[in-house]
Homo-oligomer: A and B are copies of this chain.
Amino acid sequence: MIVIVKKSTAPAAVEALSNQLRTFGVDVHLSQGSVHTVLGLVGDTSKLDIDQLKTLECVEDVKRIQEPFKNANRKFHPLDTAIKVGKNIIGGGTVTVIAGPCSVESEEQIIEVAQKVKASGAKLLRGGAFKPRTSPYAFQGLREEGLRLLSLAKKATGLPIVTEIMDIAQLELFADVDVIQVGARNMQNFELLKQLGRTRQPILLKRGLANTYQELLMSAEYIMASGNENVILCERGIRTFETYTRNTLDVSAVPVLKKLSHLPVIVDPSHAIGVAEFIPPLALASLAAGADGLMVEVHNNPACAKCDGMQSLTPVQFDELMKKVAKLSAAII
């Protein structure tokens, strides 16, 4: 950690500051510039609060040198983490496609979609039971009943299931869920993250609409620091000034997150762009950038979907996409 001292600070004050810092158990190296004095702090600086240091009278700025996440950091875990879900492995050089409808709507619907996406090569089934909707007047999901229908679809097809949790109180209902999804709006619901850290179920953690790579990794760190190392990161588009698309897919997140962290990184192109016809090019782009998998919305009848129909592929469109995914994956290995 680097502490930059204000220009006009008296040498005695610099000395006092250095001594104060030493009480935290760090060594302090002073570097006297022509304009600024800089203190280099050496040792375990984790007990020092960067914001608090900045408030000190004689401090101009403080810069941290090491990333504040440990468990999620590739520097300390150089090898890729691969997460076992049923008979599948997410991460570690594999490409896993998760597919299914935005919302579970009925037994027929979810089983039909599950069978079709399985036939096309999907390895996990997604489907929303608890639905976060901007409007209180919009369809809120089938909730417990939705979870029950997902279990039926799992039994019928053998596909492990991925579905979103919205509140800690729902956790006990998620025993049969293979991957628990934390939605973008809950990425910094820290109480929820801590609880999920106490389970051992894999967590699919979506990046928030306006959250940085580091914040996403810090949220993963919340889960991991509580004991659950099975975290899958998911880029799903960020909010920018561009309004033509629902969100803006930040494809750079894939190589950057994979450099910073050993965790698997998948992409949800459906929420990123919000328009079905653009999903295939973004799905392929994500894999070309190195993503470990995709999460794609597929609905047997998008025009009648209870939510997000506009961004759902039909089973036929999904099947075409999967053929391209296979060709691309073969080419870039």
Contact = CB atoms under 8 A, between A and B. Distances in A.
A167 interface: yes
A189 B189 contact: yes
Contact of A189 (B36, B55, B185): B185
Contacts of A185: 188-190
B167 A192 contact: yes
A76 to B, nearest CB: 11
B138 A49 contact: yes
A208 to B, nearest CB: 8
A122 interface: no
Contacts of A7: 75
Contact of A213 (B166, B168, B242, B288): B242
What size tier do the contact residues of chain A reach? 35 or more
Nearest to A284: B288
A282 B190 contact: no
A222 interface: yes
Contacts of A169: 168-169, 191
A32 interface: yes
Nearest to A47: B137
A327 interface: yes
Contact of A278 (B43, B167, B252, B287): B252
Interface string A253-277: 0111001000000000000110011
A210 interface: yes
Interface string A24-41: 000001011111101011
A319 interface: no
A29 to B, nearest CB: 4
A248 B245 contact: no
A173 interface: no
A252 B272 contact: yes
Interface string A81-124: 00000000000000000000000000000000000000000000
Given A213-B244, A281-B288, A136 B303 contact: no
A168 B168 CA distance: 8
A304 interface: yes
A52 B288 contact: no
Closest 8 CB pairs of A and B: A210-B210, A331-B331, A31-B40, A288-B288, A284-B288, A29-B31, A167-B191, A285-B285
5 contacts: A29-B32, A55-B305, A136-B190, A244-B256, A328-B328
